[in-house]
Amino acid sequence: MTNINHNYTELQGSYLFSEIAKRRTKFTQENPDAQIISLGIGDVTRGLPEAVIQAMHAAVDELASPGSFRGYGPEQGYDFLIQAIIENDYKARGIEIGTNEVFLSDGSKCDVGNIQEIFSQDSIVAVQDPVYPVYVDTNVMAGRSGAFNPETKQYEKIVYLPTSAENDFIPSLPDRKVDLIYLCYPNNPTGMTLSKAELKRWVDYAKANDCIILYDSAYEAFIQEEDVPRSIYEIEGAKEVAIEFRSFSKTAGFTGVRCAYTVVPRELKGKDANGNILLVNDLWNRRHTTKFNGVSYVTQRGAAAIYSPEGKKQIASIVEYYMTNARIIREGLSSLGLEVFGGVNAPYIWLKTPNGLDSWAFFDKLLSEAHIVGTPGVGFGQSGQGYFRLTAFGSRENTEIAVERIRKLSL
């Protein structure tokens, strides 16, 4: 029998959202009349912007006849979209990014999952805690995690950087040498952000300590406050130490359409086992062109339409819709005396469970008494215990009903 990748045996249980789905299914089977409202998984609910719809229709028509047909495109993405990204997401903020530094893909989950492949197998990985599980699981699969400790519920070799109300959700710098640091801002799941000064501390640390920051910025579009950096490259020197991941999933409702991009600056260097210096950009380009075949042409045309004047207005209005939901949840729960975080520059509200309930107990209470599905904080890591995530991605009506239902609970 063929030997499998033994690292997979270190993966813990199934994915958080499977357990949520299981409990929800059980509840609805036993309570078929309950009107469940989901503020759980971070999926959007509004339709695609009209500019995107038009662009996708036009692209489909192009594919109908040999004269305008497009087959394989560049694995890195079409120039029309890369240029729009550079102009609007970077140049407009004073950041120079080259066309060979942007790599389009079918999703940030794929990119943040695949990026570790180009680094040494003995790299030490640091993650925030709570954390998006993909960062951890993909490093477990690659053999970087060490054994899982059932007592601490953490992997031996992974360096966890706890964030909670106690440290104002600002992680401490690692207390030992690490090679790769995953940072996610605006943060999933806490909805919190770093100021420019705080992010600068991380960039300076990475420069001084020879590490690379993997900066997941999938929720950038939701930033409202001035001092919050939109891109890590706003920080001087960040191009020498950081890779940035962005997504159209939440910005423009592309969760089912699939488009994201990753910026790998040419300034970012690594070394091989013989001490030779290589450009990380070249490695990622090689990986991307060998294992990926480009984003759907229809999707790329849709994504480019976001940068048109109409597209910009339309996505601004969608972001405003969700951020109003976030305010309704935040203010509603605060008024009940709950401790609430996030929801100002991110579509996630992170709340402290009342009366010291653990995360899953609060999940069950919310499901059974208010028919609301949220996400238990502990599912994102041990520092998430006693917290709970609600998302602003529901409809306005459901968001308002949900807050009313919570108001009636005895908390």
Q: Is 121 in the site for a second copy (CB under 8 A)?
A: yes
Among 201, 269, 327, 405, binds a second copy (CB under 8 A): 269
Closer Cβ to a second copy, 301 or 352, answer by number = 301
Region 240-259 residues binding a second copy, contact defined as CB under 8 A: 253, 255-258
The structure tokens 């690379």 sit at 212
Closer Cβ to a second copy, 283 or 357, answer by number = 283
Q: Are 177 and 209 in contact (CB under 8 A)?
A: yes
Q: Is 13 in the site for a second copy (CB under 8 A)?
A: no
Q: How far is the CB of 169 from a second copy (least distance, A)?
A: 26
Distances (CA, A) of 15 to 18, 132, 182, 393: 6, 11, 19, 21
Give the distance between the most distant pair of CA atoms in the chain.
66
Q: Is 126 in the site for a second copy (CB under 8 A)?
A: no
Among 3, 29, 35, 355, binds a second copy (CB under 8 A): 3
Among 172, 290, 355, 410, binds a second copy (CB under 8 A): 290
Among 130, 229, 270, 374, binds a second copy (CB under 8 A): 270
Q: Is 80 in the site for a second copy (CB under 8 A)?
A: no
Q: Is 401 in the site for a second copy (CB under 8 A)?
A: no
What region, left, alpha or beta, does residue 69 occupy, with left being phi > 0 and alpha being psi -120 to 50 degrees? beta
- In angstroms, the CA 392 to CA 381 distance is 21
Q: Are 52 and 305 in contact (CB under 8 A)?
A: yes
Q: Is 22 in the site for a second copy (CB under 8 A)?
A: no
Q: Are 101 and 263 in contact (CB under 8 A)?
A: yes
Closer Cβ to a second copy, 101 or 351, answer by number = 101
Region 326-345 residues binding a second copy, contact defined as CB under 8 A: none
Q: Are 112 and 135 in contact (CB under 8 A)?
A: yes
Residue 323 exposed, middle or buried by CB count within 10 Å (0-12, 13-18, 19+): buried
Among 128, 138, 163, 281, binds a second copy (CB under 8 A): 138
Q: Is 146 in the site for a second copy (CB under 8 A)?
A: no
Region 37-66 residues binding a second copy, contact defined as CB under 8 A: 41, 43-48, 50, 53, 56-57, 60-61, 63-66
Among 106, 216, 220, 244, binds a second copy (CB under 8 A): 106
Residue 245 exposed, middle or buried by CB count within 10 Å (0-12, 13-18, 19+): buried
- In angstroms, the CA 81 to CA 87 distance is 10
Q: Is 21 in the site for a second copy (CB under 8 A)?
A: no
**At a CB cut-off of 8 Å and minimum separation 6, what does 167 contact?**
none
DSSP H helical segments within 189-240, as ranges? 196-208
Q: Amino acid identity, residue 117?
A: E
Q: How far is the CB of 136 from a second copy (least distance, A)?
A: 10
Among 157, 201, 287, 312, binds a second copy (CB under 8 A): 287
Q: Is 185 in the site for a second copy (CB under 8 A)?
A: no
Closer Cβ to a second copy, 116 or 193, answer by number = 116
Region 380-399 residues binding a second copy, contact defined as CB under 8 A: 395
Tokens of 337: 């005396």
Region 197-216 residues binding a second copy, contact defined as CB under 8 A: 210-212
- In angstroms, the CA 357 to CA 250 distance is 31
Q: Amino acid identity, residue 141?
A: M
Q: Is 134 in the site for a second copy (CB under 8 A)?
A: yes
Q: Is 147 in the site for a second copy (CB under 8 A)?
A: no
- In angstroms, the CA 41 to CA 348 distance is 10
Q: Is 69 in the site for a second copy (CB under 8 A)?
A: yes
